[in-house]
Amino acid sequence: MLSPYEFRDFDSPLERVAARMFSDTHFDDFERYFKQDLLKDRPLLRFGSSGHQMRKEDDKVINNAKEFSVELNVSQFRPEELSVSVHDEELVIEGHHEERDEECGTVERHFTRKYTLPKNVNPESIESHMTKEGHMTVKAKKLEQLKVRTIPIQCTMAQKRSAEDDPEDDKPVKKTRRGKKST
């Protein structure tokens, strides 16, 4: 195989692993590179100021007969750094804060969560609350489901009389010269 580079000229760990996989040593260091925590050298990507990793799996969505609600941990944000809005049938929760110094360095955070609202949610009833601990709950009431109601059928049998049944039409008709009727 002709190549301007030899495998040992690559710098990244993945490239070194690939080089070894295609050389004589095959899988010697495979586990060493792939079992390591890829984010351990980057704590700012993993954890916020409280050490809490903000993941979508931490969100809790409740959708029952009475309400739709979303609960999430936003402890890394102040209330003024958060926004809750509705775009068409979508609930959008956003948080953003500029760079600030924290115990592990300088951090800037931003997140966006989007949830499709169920069709029977009253968008005017949406409320958001945040606790001192940084837990946000966004709730919306469901529209009342219509109960089954039987509508009685009212019969209106008023008969219309036809022209043949009209007693006024039983009188003899005389024609005048100009084609007018007279009685």
| pLDDT tens digit sequence for 105-127 | 888 889 999 999 999 998 899 99
pTM for the full predicted model: 0.50
**Full set of structural domains in the chain with CATH:** 7-36 (no CATH), 45-141 (2.60.40.790)
Among residues 37, 96, 42, 89, the alpha carbon closest in space to that of 68 is found at 89
φ and ψ at 31, to 5 degrees? -65, -35
Tokens standing for residue 26: 């095959």
pLDDT in tens, 81-90: 999 999 989 9
pLDDT at 23 over 80: no
Cβ atoms 140, 121 nearer than 8 A: yes
Q: How many helices (H) and strands (E) does the chain have?
A: 3, 9
